[in-house]
């Protein structure tokens, strides 16, 4: 005997088969949906990873270029500092040479001859002039 479906009509074997087919179709759609979502998520993650990798590669190139530029600037500044140091030494020597001779002590307190100070001053002046002319000749030549 067939059971009723609540609306007064008896449920037949065909109704049960149709219901079973509908349930199977619904399950198939659910399984396909379950498979589609992870695939779509995996593709999205792969796309994001590719984009992130591209960004990292770009930043790496910028970083390496900055390191190379820093190395070049450091070498250039080292050369400039050495050049400035040499010029400051020459300038200091020139000031020493241009200074007035030191005052001579009175005759009773002098321990040595008075012409040594004048002689040393003349030697310093000659050395400074020679160094300045050597430095100016070196800077003119490429």
The answer to whether residue 123 sits within a structural domain is: yes
The answer to whether residue 100 sits within a structural domain is: yes
Residues 6+ apart with CB under 8 A from 117: 101, 102, 104
Query: How many domains, the chain?
Result: 1
The answer to whether residue 2 sits within a structural domain is: no
The answer to whether residue 47 sits within a structural domain is: yes
Q: How many residues does the chain have?
A: 142
The answer to whether residue 57 sits within a structural domain is: yes
Q: For residue range 20-61, what is the model confidence (pLDDT) as tens digits?
A: 777 878 888 887 777 777 788 888 999 999 999 999 999 999
What is the number of alpha carbons within 13 Å of residue 11 lying toward its C-beta?
9
CA–centroid distance for 18 within its chain: 70
Q: For residue range 85-117, what is the model confidence (pLDDT) as tens digits?
A: 888 888 888 887 777 666 665 555 555 555 566
Taking the whole predicted model, whether its pTM rises above 0.75 is answered as no
The answer to whether residue 125 sits within a structural domain is: yes
Its domain, for residue 86, covers: 13-140
Q: Is residue 68's pLDDT more than 70?
A: yes
């Amino acid at each position: 005997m067939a059971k009723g479906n609540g609306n007064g009509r008896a449920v037949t074997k065909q109704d049960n088969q149709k219901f079973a087919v509908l349930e199977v179709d619904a399950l198939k759609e659910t399984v396909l949906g379950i498979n589609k979502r992870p695939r779509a998520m995996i593709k999205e993650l792969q796309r994001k990873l590719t984009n992130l990798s591209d960004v990292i590669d770009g930043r790496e190139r910028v970083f390496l270029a900055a390191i190379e530029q820093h190395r070049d600037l450091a070498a250039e500044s080292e050369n400039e500092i050495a050049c400035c140091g040499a010029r400051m030494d020459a300038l200091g020597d020139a000031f020493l040479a241009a200074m007035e001779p030191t005052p001579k002590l009175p005759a009773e307190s002098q321990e040595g001859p008075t012409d040594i100070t004048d002689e040393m001053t003349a030697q310093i002046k000659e050395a400074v002039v020679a160094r300045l002319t050597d430095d100016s000749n070196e800077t003119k030549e490429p």
